[in-house]
Amino acid sequence: MELLTPNIGLVFWMSLAFLVVLFLLKKFAWSGILQALKDREDFIEKSLKSAEEAKAQMSSLKAENENLLAEARAEREQILKEAKDMKDKIMSDAKVSASEEGNRLINAARTEIEKEKNQALSDIKKQVAELSIQIAEKVIRTELSDKNAQQALVDSHLNQTTVN
């Protein structure tokens, strides 16, 4: 039962030891512990502020990225539209150019055909004239007294010329 009712001397020495330890802790350790707690509190506060700033920067970067993406999409659409317009213009110009070239070639061919036709007609007229002269020569050389003989001679010459 002695433990339940302590001795006055024991209480005094225990109190004195407690006060000495308390004094030593306050003198040497308490300020260091409080400073460490304050430093830790400041570090946690700075970390929270840094996290909030990083979060704000991330949201602003995200918004900026979305704006850049929207601008890139708009620019892509503009480039595609310009390319389509350019393609349509080139196709239209090519069609017009091809049509003009085709018309020019057709006109040149018609002119060439007409020239060849006129030259062929000229050659035919020349050949007809030569044949007529040859027939006339032969008719004049033969006797002109008999009409039937003249007719037979002209027919035979015509047959010869048509066969050749």
Which residues, in sequence order, are CB contacts of 139 under 8 Å at separation 6+?
150, 153, 154
Q: Structural domain of residue 91, as residue ranges? A: 8-163
Hey, CA dihedral for 76, 81, 86, 91, is it positive or negative? Answer: positive
Q: For 119-130, what is each residue's pLDDT tens digit?
A: 999 999 888 888
Distance between CA 81 and CA 74 in Å, rounded? 10
* The overall pTM is greater than 0.85: no
How many structural domains compose the chain? 1
Distance between CA 18 and CA 152 in Å, rounded? 170
Residue 39 resides in a domain: yes
Residue 1 resides in a domain: no
Q: For 14-73, what is each residue's pLDDT tens digit?
A: 999 999 999 988 888 888 888 899 999 999 999 999 999 999 999 999 999 999 999 999
Cβ atoms of 118 and 96 within 8 Å: the answer is no
